[in-house]
């Protein structure tokens, strides 16, 4: 009787609801690959609750002064570009539904848009090395994602499979990450759980939703899209000084974090 | 019981995946011990040493599944934020499935941790950002512009303009010293990158360092710091071109630079006869006009010239009509004499010979008389200008600075013409000189954190003597004497002495209070002599055609300005009070006037939201008469014109209102800007003229009520399907004023002008791009009769980029004049420029062709309230130049 009762309970309790939906906030400093060796460190805020994490960067809500340029932020640095709006650039992951949605603010070349990215499982190989980041004991793991090899440090003391950017899926929070070529790097800045701040748990929606393939194409040819738009606005007198062709395309995606996509293999 | 067993079996089978050999599946549920709901948790299988074998997360309802081929004793750890972790020992042996459930107890978890970051090679101070050049260089940069393009946050446009966001930089300094202010492209496009150590960006920049943070400044400036060992090297470029098929066309430019610690030098030269005006770029250095900049006392004071030959040019590109032969040399140096003292010297020498060829037919219709005049004009202007500027800056202390600026200019100009006027052949000669002596002293004292006091003083002495002679006498209707030539001599001497003290007080809440007290004294001496001659002998100095005038104006003034900074509003209130002391001494008879008036101004900036901005302002102005408004004897200002002033003091009132609405900003897909200006002159200077075939005499009169309304709007929209940007411009201007001609009554003259046009510019990614546009201009003048015309200018430009090294630009234009006869009312122009890079940033070749259709003359049409004229001009003929640029 007891056995059947347990069985009935497990069958009946189909609805998936998590208790304790508190929100946490982790702040990372992320450096993306760039032709300028030492540029583009972006402070990224990752909000999370039990099942959803939303990584937000370039949001004017957090940086009142979006003057183009670089400002000091405490003892760190914050890069502010005219790029960005209130919502910012979002990487929204729903671990329950296993989907990942990206949202990009308006740029000179494109209006706001969202992209449904593919939920790829990263095959992490956990190493024996340990280190301490802040007060957390961390273990090392190595994994490959879209043709880049990432070396990360994660802590089981924060037992969520979350991580910065699109890195996730370890038995603990990823605090630090770097790729083998040292072009992409993430440094952990702070964590606060629970936090009084709220974040949008629903996945972002914009007028335009690009497919992943369209998005990759747009980023590969961004300089061209941008040049298109800018050229069309230049006054007549500039015509004679337009002498350079757009710079060579980065067809090997040397300066992109994601080098090869699933359909390109 | 049986049913449940089957049911249980069903569930077990339902959850089974493909079973591999010797693979064990560990599965179960993780639930909240209190509410029995599934928990999102991390499930990790570790060996007894803590090594992670495999791991996963719970899925729906808290279900998890792990697969492993390992055998032995392990620990299965389950943890989740906000719950107490649990660990269960399991033994993986022969069984293919292990089921474990976990009931987790909720736990209050709190995490708070902050980690300090390490430094980057970008240092940020309050308003300064310092970039370490070495960190940004990649090795393929040649000139400063190439390095600046790699600095994050800096935008370098294709023509070299440097912007941060939408704000253009004020200057590019080298080791703290600036040569050219807004002419910084001379540096960024020529200076090599190797000597540069750091690039510093100064935001909220003030030209006067003590005003930083006090005056509201959005300005930005750059400073390039040099490496120690890379100073004191000479570098530059040379650019030369010579005409291939055309006769003797040439162009030569060169820059030579040396930047040391104690002294910096920059030399440049430009010689050309293809119509390029190199002087124009330098002009803002000689006579800078700074609007609303503190200590710009006297910037708007200059001497006036009355006489001129008619060198009017049509509205085409300057290099099509500027038939020149110019040479320019400029030597600039900055010497750091000591830690506190700096000396800057600028020297500039320019000679030019410009030719004018013009034929015109003017049909006059005034009152009841109509007549026509024809002119066939050939003229030449030869001028030589020497200009020098010295700037001495002495930093007395950290908060006090003393600056002295001295300018000296001498210009000698000779104009001569051969003019066939109706049936008379005239030779005109005009000698005009200019001698300028300008001294300025500024003392700045920042006596408190947010308060600055400026004391500036300026003395200007400018002389513009002119000598004009015509070898025919065509004024027999005016003078009884029988003469056969005339001479006009005019000496205009201007002396200006001013002193001004200015206090700026920035309040804590961002409001800015400014108060200015000053005195400006201006003395104009106008001596003119008009004589009639028979050959070389003087016959008469006609009465009423001579001037011996000293006009003195002393303006004692007080200006108070308060700028309120509210949330989305900025409110500006200003009031200027002037006490004038005017004295007019005309042929030794003195008259005085001491008027007092107040000029209020109010303005409001409202940023409604990110997309909508409104700027409005209203001001009431009183303008005191200038020397050219008060002289009493007629002066011969041209071969058939005489004019005189009003002979008495005047202050004229006018009020103007401005409204500017902007929607969106430059980079948006849709951007619109509308500007409305309405101005009303309560009193204004008009003319009372007598117009006859051989002469016109006009004297100034004061009339009431002139109105001016101008509306202009431009709209930008980007069309994605054709990857092009459409720009539409609309504008209209309406002016009403009155004058008297040939003893008529006061007649009203209405002018209406409308402009409408579009431009479509492509942004293709390929090697081809186009830019096409057309602009119509409608002009109407109405007195007792109405005259109007519509002209059109269209252009079509193409650009072909074959590669990084080779490209071609083609520009074509078409002009259409509505009122000219069909044979002469359309003109087509074609220009071509090709560029070939032999070695990037070292050697480049250009081939440029201008006016390939060889249009030699250009006729246009214009109307005024007294005549309609058709004028034909000679243009720069076709030429093809082969040019070469070498950088060293």
Q: Quick one: pLDDT at residue B647?
A: 81
Query: Scanning every residue of chain A, which has its alpha carbon at the shortest distance from the alpha carbon of B120?
Result: A38
**Contact (CB<8Å) B765/A7:** no
pLDDT over 50 at B141, yes or no: yes
Instruction: Give A176's strand partners.
Output: A153
- Closest-CA distance, B822 to chain A, in angstroms, reads 29
Question: Distances in Å between the alpha carbon of B800 and those of B179, B766, B769, B884?
Answer: 36, 9, 7, 20
Contacts of residue A11 in chain B, CB cutoff 8 Å? Answer: 11
8 A C-beta contact, residue B231 and residue B259: yes
CA B49, B50, B52, B54: dihedral to nearest 10 degrees? 90
Average the pLDDT over B376-399 and give the result: 92
* Residue B347 structure tokens: 């020297």
8 A C-beta contact, residue B344 and residue B674: no
8 A C-beta contact, residue B71 and residue B64: no
- Closest-CA distance, A38 to chain B, in angstroms, reads 6
Average the pLDDT over B99-106 and give the result: 89
Q: Quick one: pLDDT at residue B560?
A: 95
Fold of the CATH domain B122-229: Ferric Hydroxamate Uptake Protein; Chain A, domain 1 (2.170.130)
pTM of the model: 0.65
The whole-angstrom separation of Cα B96 and Cα B77 is: 20
- When CB atoms are compared, the residue of A169, A193, A243 closest to B835 is A243
The whole-angstrom separation of Cα B742 and Cα B697 is: 10
Q: With pLDDT > 70 as the criterion, what percentage of chain B qualifies?
A: 91
8 A C-beta contact, residue B501 and residue B602: no
**Contact (CB<8Å) B762/A232:** yes
The whole-angstrom separation of Cα B30 and Cα B100 is: 9
pLDDT over 90 at B463, yes or no: yes
* Residue B527: pLDDT band with limits 50, 70, 90: very high
B768 and chain A in contact, CB less than 8 A: no
The whole-angstrom separation of Cα B698 and Cα B304 is: 18
* Interstrand relation of B786-801 and B806-817 (parallel, antiparallel or unpaired): antiparallel
The tens digit of pLDDT for each residue in B33-67 reads 888 888 888 899 998 888 888 898 888 788 999 98
The DSSP code sequence of B729-760 is EEEEEEEEEEEEETT---EEEEEEEEEEEEEE
The DSSP code sequence of A113-140 is EEEEE--PPP--EEEEEEEEETTEEEEE
A244 and chain B in contact, CB less than 8 A: yes
Helix or strand holding residue B88 (H, E) = strand B86-92
Contacts of residue A191 in chain B, CB cutoff 8 Å? Answer: 111-113
The DSSP code sequence of B271-293 is EESSS--SHHHHHHHHS---TT-
* Residue B497: pLDDT band with limits 50, 70, 90: very high
- Closest-CA distance, B38 to chain A, in angstroms, reads 6
Residue matched to tokens 């400026």: B454
- For domain B2-104, say whether CATH 2.60.40.10 is its number: yes
Q: Quick one: pLDDT at residue A152?
A: 94
Contacts of residue A41 in chain B, CB cutoff 8 Å? Answer: 120
Q: Report the residue count for chain B.
A: 888
Helices (H) and strands (E) in chain B, counts: 7, 47
Instruction: Give B359's strand partners.
Output: B376, B872
**Contact (CB<8Å) A4/B152:** no
8 A C-beta contact, residue B245 and residue B851: no
8 A C-beta contact, residue A158 and residue B111: yes
Burial of A182 (0-12, 13-18, 19+ CB in 10 A): exposed
Average the pLDDT over B348-369 and give the result: 88
Question: Distances in Å between the alpha carbon of B246 and those of B289, B854, B855?
Answer: 40, 11, 14
Q: Quick one: pLDDT at residue B559?
A: 95
**Contact (CB<8Å) B771/A236:** yes
- When CB atoms are compared, the residue of B113, B138, B158 closest to A35 is B138
Cα four-point dihedral sign B121, B125, B130, B131: positive
The whole-angstrom separation of Cα A137 and Cα A158 is: 10
A2 and chain B in contact, CB less than 8 A: no
- Closest-CA distance, B844 to chain A, in angstroms, reads 12
The whole-angstrom separation of Cα B295 and Cα B279 is: 26
8 A C-beta contact, residue A51 and residue A18: yes
From chain B residues 269-288, the ones with a CB under 8 A of any chain A CB are none
The whole-angstrom separation of Cα A203 and Cα A182 is: 31
Enumerate the H helices of chain A as residue ranges.
2-12, 212-220, 222-231
Task: Sketch the domain layout of chain B as residue ranges.
Answer: 2-104, 122-229
ipTM rounded to 2 decimals: 0.76
The tens digit of pLDDT for each residue in B188-230 reads 776 777 778 888 888 778 888 888 878 877 788 999 988 776 6
Average the pLDDT over B104-119 and give the result: 70
- When CB atoms are compared, the residue of A36, A69, A230 closest to B150 is A36
A11 and chain B in contact, CB less than 8 A: yes
Q: Quick one: pLDDT at residue B219?
A: 80
3-state secondary structure of A240: helix
Longest dimension (CA), chain A: 89
The whole-angstrom separation of Cα B98 and Cα B12 is: 12
Helix or strand holding residue B133 (H, E) = helix B133-136
CA atoms within 13 A on the CB side of B574: 21
Helices (H) and strands (E) in chain A, counts: 3, 14
Residues 6+ positions from A125 with CB-CB distance below 8 Å: A141, A142, A143
The tens digit of pLDDT for each residue in B601-612 reads 999 988 887 678
Enumerate the H helices of B307-457 as residue ranges.
318-321
Helix or strand holding residue B291 (H, E) = none
Residues 6+ positions from A182 with CB-CB distance below 8 Å: none
A130 and chain B in contact, CB less than 8 A: no
Contacts of residue A135 in chain B, CB cutoff 8 Å? Answer: 113
Tell which residue, B866, B868, B647, has the closest CA to residue B740. Answer: B866
Q: In what order do the strands lie in the sheet with B72-79?
A: B52-57, B42-46, B72-79, B86-92
* Residue B78 structure tokens: 């389950």
- Closest-CA distance, B793 to chain A, in angstroms, reads 13
CA B506, B512, B517, B519: dihedral to nearest 10 degrees? 110
The whole-angstrom separation of Cα A69 and Cα B131 is: 11
Q: Report the residue count for chain A.
A: 265
pLDDT over 60 at B83, yes or no: yes
8 A C-beta contact, residue B280 and residue B305: no
CA B460 to chain centre: 27
Contacts of residue B85 in chain A, CB cutoff 8 Å? Answer: 159
Tell which residue, B576, B569, B455, B561, has the closest CA to residue B215. Answer: B561
The DSSP code sequence of B599-615 is EEEEEEEEE-SSSEEEE
Q: Quick one: pLDDT at residue A66?
A: 42
B117 and chain A in contact, CB less than 8 A: yes
**Contact (CB<8Å) B159/A4:** no
Helix or strand holding residue B146 (H, E) = helix B144-148
Contacts of residue A230 in chain B, CB cutoff 8 Å? Answer: 763
The tens digit of pLDDT for each residue in B659-695 reads 888 776 544 567 787 888 888 888 888 889 998 888 8
How many CB atoms within 10 Å of residue B544? 11
Cis peptide before A194 (omega within 30 of 0): yes
Tell which residue, A249, A263, A185, has the closest CA to residue A218. Answer: A249
* Residue B98 structure tokens: 């292990």
Of these ranges, B223-237, B308-322, B503-517, the one predicted with the greatest mean pLDDT is: B503-517
The whole-angstrom separation of Cα B197 and Cα B183 is: 22
A51 and chain B in contact, CB less than 8 A: yes
Average the pLDDT over B467-478 and give the result: 90
The whole-angstrom separation of Cα B522 and Cα B456 is: 16
- When CB atoms are compared, the residue of B34, B40, B129 closest to A70 is B129
The whole-angstrom separation of Cα B548 and Cα B585 is: 8
B181: DSSP letter: G
* Residue B763 structure tokens: 């942004």
A69 and chain B in contact, CB less than 8 A: yes
B60 and chain A in contact, CB less than 8 A: yes
Mean pLDDT in consecutive groups of 10 residues from the start of chain A, 265 residues: 57 42 86 66 85 85 53 41 78 90 86 91 87 84 92 90 91 91 86 85 90 88 71 58 50 80 83
From chain A residues 213-232, the ones with a CB under 8 A of any chain B CB are 221, 224-225, 227-232
From chain B residues 164-193, the ones with a CB under 8 A of any chain A CB are 164-165
Q: Quick one: pLDDT at residue A14?
A: 40
8 A C-beta contact, residue B843 and residue B341: no
């Amino acid at each position: 009787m007891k056995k059947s009762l347990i069985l009935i309970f497990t069958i009946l309790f189909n609805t998936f609801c998590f208790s304790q939906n508190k929100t946490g906030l982790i702040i990372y400093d992320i450096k993306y690959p760039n032709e300028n060796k030492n540029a583009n460190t972006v402070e990224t805020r990752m909000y999370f609750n039990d099942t959803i994490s939303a990584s937000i960067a370039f949001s004017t809500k957090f940086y009142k002064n979006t003057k183009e340029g670089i400002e000091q932020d405490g003892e760190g640095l914050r890069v502010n570009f005219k790029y960005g709006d209130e919502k910012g650039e979002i990487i929204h992951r729903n671990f329950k539904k296993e989907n990942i949605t990206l949202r990009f603010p308006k740029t000179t070349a494109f209006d706001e848009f969202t992209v449904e990215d593919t939920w790829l499982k990263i095959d992490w190989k956990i190493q024996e090395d340990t280190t301490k980041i802040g007060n957390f004991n961390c273990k090392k793991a190595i994994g490959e994602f879209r043709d880049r090899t990432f070396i990360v440090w994660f802590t089981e003391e924060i037992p969520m499979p979350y991580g910065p950017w699109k890195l996730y899926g370890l038995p603990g929070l990823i605090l630090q990450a770097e790729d083998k070529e040292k072009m992409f790097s993430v440094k952990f800045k702070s964590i606060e759980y629970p936090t009084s701040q709220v974040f949008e748990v629903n996945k972002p929606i914009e007028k335009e939703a690009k497919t992943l393939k369209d998005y990759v194409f747009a980023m590969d040819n961004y300089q061209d899209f941008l040049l298109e738009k800018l050229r069309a606005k230049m006054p007549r007198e500039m015509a004679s000084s337009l002498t350079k062709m757009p710079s060579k395309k980065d067809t090997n995606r040397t300066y992109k974090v994601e080098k090869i996509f699933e359909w390109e293999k | 019981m049986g049913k449940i067993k089957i049911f249980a079996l069903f569930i077990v089978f339902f959850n089974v995946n493909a079973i591999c050999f010797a693979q064990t599946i560990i599965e179960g549920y993780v639930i909240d011990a209190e509410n029995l709901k599934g928990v999102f948790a991390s499930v990790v299988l570790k060996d007894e040493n803590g090594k992670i074998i495999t791991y996963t997360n719970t899925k729906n309802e808290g279900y998890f599944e792990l697969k492993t081929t390992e055998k032995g004793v392990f620990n299965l750890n389950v943890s989740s934020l906000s719950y107490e972790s649990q660990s269960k020992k399991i033994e993986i042996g022969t069984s293919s499935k292990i089921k474990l459930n976990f009931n987790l107890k909720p736990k209050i978890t709190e995490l708070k941790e902050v980690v300090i970051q390490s430094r980057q090679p970008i240092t940020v101070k309050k308003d300064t950002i310092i970039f370490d050049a070495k960190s940004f260089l990649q090795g393929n940069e040649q000139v400063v512009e190439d390095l600046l393009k790699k600095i994050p946050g800096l935008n370098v446009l294709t023509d070299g303009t440097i912007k941060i966001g939408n704000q253009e930089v004020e200057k590019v300094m080298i080791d703290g010293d600036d040569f050219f202010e807004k002419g910084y492209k001379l540096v960024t496009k020529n200076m090599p990158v190797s000597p540069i150590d750091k690039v510093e960006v100064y935001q909220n920049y003030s030209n006067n360092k003590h005003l930083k943070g006090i005056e509201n400044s959005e300005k930005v400036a750059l400073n390039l710091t040099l490496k120690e060992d890379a100073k004191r090297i000479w570098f530059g470029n040379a650019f030369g071109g010579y005409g291939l098929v055309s006769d003797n066309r040439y162009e030569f430019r060169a820059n030579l630079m040396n930047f040391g610690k104690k002294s910096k030098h920059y030399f440049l030269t430009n010689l050309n006869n293809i119509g390029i005006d190199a002087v124009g770029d330098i002009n803002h250095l000689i006579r800078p006009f700074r609007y609303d900049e503190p200590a710009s006392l006297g910037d708007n004071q200059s001497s006036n010239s009355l006489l001129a030959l008619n060198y009017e040019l049509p509205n085409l590109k300057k290099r099509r009509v500027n038939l020149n032969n110019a040479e320019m040399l400029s030597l600039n140096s900055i010497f750091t004499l000591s830690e506190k003292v700096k000396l800057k010297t600028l020297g500039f020498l320019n000679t030019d010979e410009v030719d004018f060829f013009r034929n015109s037919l003017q049909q006059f219709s005034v009152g009841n008389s109509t007549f026509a005049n024809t002119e066939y004009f050939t003229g030449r202007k030869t001028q030589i200008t020497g200009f020098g500027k010295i700037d001495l800056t002495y930093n007395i202390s950290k908060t006090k600075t003393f600056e002295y600026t001295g300018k000296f200019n001498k210009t000698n100009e000779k104009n001569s013409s051969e003019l066939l006027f109706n049936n008379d052949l005239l030779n005109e000669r005009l000698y005009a000189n200019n001698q300028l002596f300008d001294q300025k002293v500024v003392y700045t004292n920042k006596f408190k954190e947010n308060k600055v006091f400026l004391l500036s003083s300026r003395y200007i002495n400018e002389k513009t003597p002119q000598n004009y002679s015509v070898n025919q006498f065509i004024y027999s209707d005016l003078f009884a004497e029988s003469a056969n030539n005339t001479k006009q001599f005019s000496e205009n001497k201007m002396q200006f002495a001013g002193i001004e003290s200015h206090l700026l007080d920035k309040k804590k809440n961002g409001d800015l209070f400014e108060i200015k007290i000053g005195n400006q004294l201006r003395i104009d001496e106008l001596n003119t002599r008009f004589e009639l001659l028979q050959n070389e002998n003087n016959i008469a100095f006609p009465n009423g055609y001579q001037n011996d005038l000293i006009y003195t104006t002393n303006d004692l003034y007080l200006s108070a300005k308060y700028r309120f900074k509210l949330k989305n509003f900025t409110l500006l209130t200003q009031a200027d009070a002037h006490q004038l002391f005017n004295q007019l001494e005309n042929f030794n008879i003195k008259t005085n006037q001491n008027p007092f008036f107040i000029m209020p101004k109010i303005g409001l900036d409202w940023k409604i939201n990110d997309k909508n901005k409104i700027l409005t302002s209203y001001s009431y102005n009183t303008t005191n008469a200038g020397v050219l408004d008060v002289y009493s004897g007629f002066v011969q200002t041209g071969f058939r014109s005489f004019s005189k002033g009003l002979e008495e003091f005047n202050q004229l009132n006018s009020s103007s209102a401005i409204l500017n609405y902007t929607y969106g900003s430059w980079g948006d897909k849709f951007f619109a800007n509308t500007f409305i200006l309405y101005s009303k002159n309560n009193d204004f200077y008009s003319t009372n003229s007598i117009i006859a075939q051989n002469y016109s005499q006009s004297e100034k009169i004061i009339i009431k009520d002139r109105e001016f309304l101008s509306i202009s709007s431009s709209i930008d929209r980007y069309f994605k399907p054709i990857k092009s940007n459409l720009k539409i411009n609309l504008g209209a201007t309406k002016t009403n004023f009155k004058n008297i001609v040939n003893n008529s009554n006061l007649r009203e003259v209405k002018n209406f002008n409308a402009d409408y046009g579009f431009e479509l510019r492509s942004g293709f990614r390929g090697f081809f791009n186009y830019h096409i546009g057309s602009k119509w201009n409608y002009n109407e003048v109405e007195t007792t009769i109405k005259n109007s015309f519509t002209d059109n200018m269209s252009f079509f430009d193409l650009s072909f980029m074959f590669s990084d090294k080779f490209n071609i630009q083609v520009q074509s234009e078409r002009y259409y004049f509505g009122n000219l006869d069909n044979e002469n009312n359309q003109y087509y122009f074609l220009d071509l420029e090709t560029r070939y890079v032999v070695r990037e940033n070292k050697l480049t070749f250009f081939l440029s062709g201008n006016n390939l259709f060889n249009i030699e003359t250009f006729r246009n049409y214009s109307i005024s309230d007294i005549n309609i004229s058709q004028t034909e001009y000679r243009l720069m003929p076709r030429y093809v130049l082969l040019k070469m640029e070498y950088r060293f």
